Amino acid sequence: MARLYESRKRILVTGGAGFLGSHLIDRLIDQGHEVLCVDNLFTGTKRNVDHLHDEPRFEFMRHDVTQPLVVEVDEIYNLACPASPIHYQHDPVQTTKTSVHGAINMLGLAKRLKCKIFQASTSEVYGDPNVHPQPEEYWGNVNPIGPRSCYDEGKRCAETLFFDYHRQHALEIKVARIFNTYGPRMHHADGRVVSNFIVQALQGQDITIYGDGSQTRSFCFASDLIEGFLRLMATGTDVTGPVNLGNPGEFTMLELAETVIELTGSKSKLTFMDLPADDPKQRRPDISKAKELLDWTPTIELKEGLTNTIAYFERRLPEIMGR
Q: Specify whether 151 is catalytic.
A: yes
pLDDT at residue 4 tops 50 = no
Q: What share of the chain is helix, strand, coil (3-state, %, to 5)?
A: 40, 15, 40
Would residue 241 count as lying in a domain?
yes
CATH number of the structural domain spanning residue 288: 3.40.50.720
Catalytic residue among 77, 126, 151, 165: 151
Residue 204 CB neighbours (<10 A)? 11
What is the reported pLDDT for 323?
53
Average pLDDT, the chain: 94
What is the reported pLDDT for 321?
72
CA distance 141 to 54: 46
Whole-model pTM: value is 0.94
The total number of structural domains in the chain stands at 1
Would residue 134 count as lying in a domain?
yes
Q: What domain range includes position 85?
A: 2-182+221-247+284-299
What is the rounded average pLDDT of the residues 52-81? 97
**Worst-scoring range by mean pLDDT, 10-24, 79-93, 172-186?**
79-93
pLDDT at residue 85 tops 80 = no
The per-residue pLDDT for range 106-145, each reduced to its tens digit, is 999 999 999 999 999 999 999 999 999 999 999 999 999 9
Concatenate the DSSP letters of all residues of 248-269 into one string: ---EEHHHHHHHHHHHHT--PP
Would residue 213 count as lying in a domain?
no
What is the rounded average pLDDT of the residues 249-258? 96
CB 244 within 8 A of CB 177: yes
Helix, strand, or coil here: 94?
helix
